[in-house]
């Protein structure tokens, strides 16, 4: 098991290119089950979750190869064997997103079996809405030995239907992706009300449309899908990762740094940019498509204007090809005020502030000049970072789904424990700003969603090192008793 050792206090400076989105890639990979032709996916990040999904798809009969030399390191996925449609617990327990193979299996093969995902550090995370959607497409669903078994009605094809996919916390992202993938192959028309509007769903709908699907309304809460008899192959570039981009923007802000992000999906970041502007963090476009364009009259600024992001028009192809300004693939510069203002923020489904940036924002607000309030409306218990930030000298008071953050002058390095992917990112950001040394244990959570974050941060000037826990113990820089807690 690895840990990060971080000496805080260095201002980040330099350039970083944002990777393809993890949360877009997972359903896109699963959607490759919908055709027997090759699916080529570019810019898929090399992460633990992606490797697990590849392992799962191989077990479901896909041949998968990655070309490490071509642009976007394309992954080619081709279904060659349809004899196994069971996603085994061994893989599902490593990654909840395994559930999103069920829709494609059901749509294409008329049958699928997926081990029921359990809870995780951020909450219970039920899948009832996914199942409600499949049932609305006339699938028979039952649970046996901890596995969800789903079957299309005879003769093996789903039937389009209308459904409401809203739950107690709003729409469901993977639920929408799952049901969408089933509906594109159903007979007739499907209407999904309260569909998730996340950009990752739009990316999925774009790819499915290129494969021959008929989808109207992607990005809105009402999706209308006309089922088709077959889908073909596709060559698709995954959207840039808005959460990775937000994390590096916040890393720059918390160190009072000055960094440039390439391939930044500005058009998907309106709520975070609005909040950042209120705090005193400016994110300004300096070009697009990973190329530099000097700021001149021809370059439309994406800078926040009194807290309102001014987003320019694009041709909407999302590929960054040919157009001068593609708001999903911008080059931006991040600068911030020395004095950060406190804010009130509530996480919400898109286009609201994403829950996946809540922990990182909280780390920043620990250093704001005054009291902030963060309320978590998607996963009300997603606060595993709170007790760890307290260990670093933060002043946080949790009341249910809200945390009052009373800004402090400085954070102090300490050994802390990562508990989930985004909590880990929040702790690393706090460590970058803290005085002295922080050891962040259980970094495998972070590796699920960020590609070699320590290399990127080091390239930006951070003093950060990945160390094996055993090596740490040998160096005796772990606190007494921590080694046994980790084991």
Residues that bind ligand EPU (CB under 6 A): 23, 26, 97, 123, 125-130, 167-169, 172-175, 354-356, 378-379, 421-422, 449
To ligand EPU, the closest distance from the beta carbon of 374 in angstroms equals: 15
To ligand EPU, the closest distance from the beta carbon of 295 in angstroms equals: 33
Residues 6 or more apart in contact with residue 486 via CB below 8 angstroms:
1, 417, 441, 442, 469
Largest CA distance in the chain: 67
CB nearer to ligand EPU: pick between 137 and 421? 421
Single out the residue of 15, 17, 16, 2 nearest to residue 73, CA to CA. 17
To ligand EPU, the closest distance from the beta carbon of 144 in angstroms equals: 19
Backbone angles phi, psi at 149, to 5 degrees: -115, 120
d(CA 435, CA 455): 21
d(CA 136, CA 357): 33
To ligand EPU, the closest distance from the beta carbon of 466 in angstroms equals: 20
CB nearer to ligand EPU: pick between 50 and 482? 50
Residues 6 or more apart in contact with residue 297 via CB below 8 angstroms:
none
Q: What is the DSSP string of 129-149?
A: HHHHHHHHTT-EEEEETTEEE
Secondary structure (3-state) at 256: coil
- Which entry of 62, 100, 120, 181 is annotated as an active-site residue? 120
CB nearer to ligand EPU: pick between 168 and 322? 168
215 neighbors 31 (Cβ within 8 angstroms): no
Secondary structure (3-state) at 170: strand
CB nearer to ligand EPU: pick between 118 and 370? 118
CB nearer to ligand EPU: pick between 384 and 403? 384
CB nearer to ligand EPU: pick between 175 and 320? 175
DSSP-derived letter for residue 94 is T
The two tokens of residue 92 are 């599902």
d(CA 177, CA 200): 9
To ligand EPU, the closest distance from the beta carbon of 54 in angstroms equals: 15
Angle of CA points 385, 349, 323, to nearest 5°: 105
To ligand EPU, the closest distance from the beta carbon of 97 in angstroms equals: 4
The two tokens of residue 141 are 């669903």
DSSP strand pairing (258-264 vs 281-288): unpaired
To ligand EPU, the closest distance from the beta carbon of 96 in angstroms equals: 6
CB nearer to ligand EPU: pick between 23 and 336? 23
CB nearer to ligand EPU: pick between 26 and 215? 26
What is the b/e burial string over 147-175, where b = at least 16 CB atoms within 10 angstroms of the residue's CB?
bbbbbbeeeebbbbbebebbeebbbbbbb
Q: What is the DSSP string of 407-475?
A: --S--B--EEE--SHHHHHHHHHHHHHSBSEEEEE-THHHHTTSTTHHHHHHHTT-EEEEEEHHHHHHH
To ligand EPU, the closest distance from the beta carbon of 123 in angstroms equals: 6
CB nearer to ligand EPU: pick between 8 and 199? 199
Active site residue 366: no
To ligand EPU, the closest distance from the beta carbon of 12 in angstroms equals: 22
d(CA 315, CA 14): 30
Instruction: With residue 346 as reference, give the H or E element that holds it.
Output: strand 344-346
- State whether the Cα torsion 136-139-140-144 is positive or negative: negative
**Residues acting as catalytic residues:** 120
């Amino acid at each position: 098991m690895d840990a990060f050792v971080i000496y805080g206090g260095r201002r980040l400076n330099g350039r970083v290119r944002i990777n393809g989105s993890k949360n877009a890639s997972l359903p896109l990979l699963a959607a490759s089950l919908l055709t027997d032709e090759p699916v080529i996916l570019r810019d898929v990040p090399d992460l633990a979750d992606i490797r697990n999904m590849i392992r799962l798809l191989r077990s479901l009969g896909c041949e998968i190869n990655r070309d490490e030399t071509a642009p976007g390191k394309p992954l080619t996925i081709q279904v060659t064997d349809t004899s196994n449609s069971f996603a085994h617990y061994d893989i599902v327990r490593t990654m909840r997103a395994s559930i999103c193979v069920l829709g494609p299996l059901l749509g294409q093969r008329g049958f699928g079996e997926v081990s029921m995902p359990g809870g995780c550090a951020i909450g219970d995370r039920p899948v009832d809405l996914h199942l409600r959607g499949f049932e609305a497409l006339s699938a028979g669903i039952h649970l046996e030995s901890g596995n969800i078994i789903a079957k299309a009605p005879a003769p093996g094809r789903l039937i389009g239907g209308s459904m409401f996919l809203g739950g107690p916390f709003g729409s469901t992202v993977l639920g929408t992706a799952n049901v969408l993938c089933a509906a594109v192959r159903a007979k007739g028309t499907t209407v999904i009300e309260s569909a998730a509007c996340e950009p990752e769903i739009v990316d999925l709908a774009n790819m499915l449309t290129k494969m021959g699907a008929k989808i109207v309304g992607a990005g809105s809460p009402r999706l209308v899908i006309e089922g088709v008899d077959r889908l073909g192959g596709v060559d698709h570039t995954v959207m840039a990762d808005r959460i990775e981009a937000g994390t590096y923007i916040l890393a720059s802000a918390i160190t009072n740094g000055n960094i440039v992000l390439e391939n930044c999906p500005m058009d998907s970041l309106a709520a975070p940019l609005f909040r950042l502007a209120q705090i005193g963090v400016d994110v300004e476009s300096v070009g697009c498509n990973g190329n530099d364009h000097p700021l001149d009259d021809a370059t439309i600024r994406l800078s926040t204007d009194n807290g309102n992001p001014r987003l320019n028009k694009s041709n909407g192809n999302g590929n960054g090809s040919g157009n001068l300004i593609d708001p999903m693939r911008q080059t931006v510069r991040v600068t911030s005020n020395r004095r950060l203002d406190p804010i009130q923020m509530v996480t919400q489904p898109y286009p609201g502030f994403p829950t996946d940036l809540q922990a990182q924002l909280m780390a920043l607000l620990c250093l704001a000049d005054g009291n902030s309030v963060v309320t978590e409306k998607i996963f009300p218990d997603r606060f595993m970072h709170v007790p760890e930030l307290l260990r670093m000298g933060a002043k946080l008071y949790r009341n249910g789904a809200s945390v009052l953050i009373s800004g402090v002058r400085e954070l102090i390095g300490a050994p802390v424990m990562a508990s989930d992917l985004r909590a880990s990112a929040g702790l690393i950001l706090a460590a970058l700003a803290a005085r002295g040394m922080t050891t962040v244990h259980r970094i495998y959570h972070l590796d699920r969603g960020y590609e070699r974050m320590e290399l990127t941060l080091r390239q930006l000037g951070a003093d950060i090192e990945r160390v094996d826990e055993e090596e740490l113990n040998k160096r005796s820089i772990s606190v007494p008793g921590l080694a046994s807690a980790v084991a």
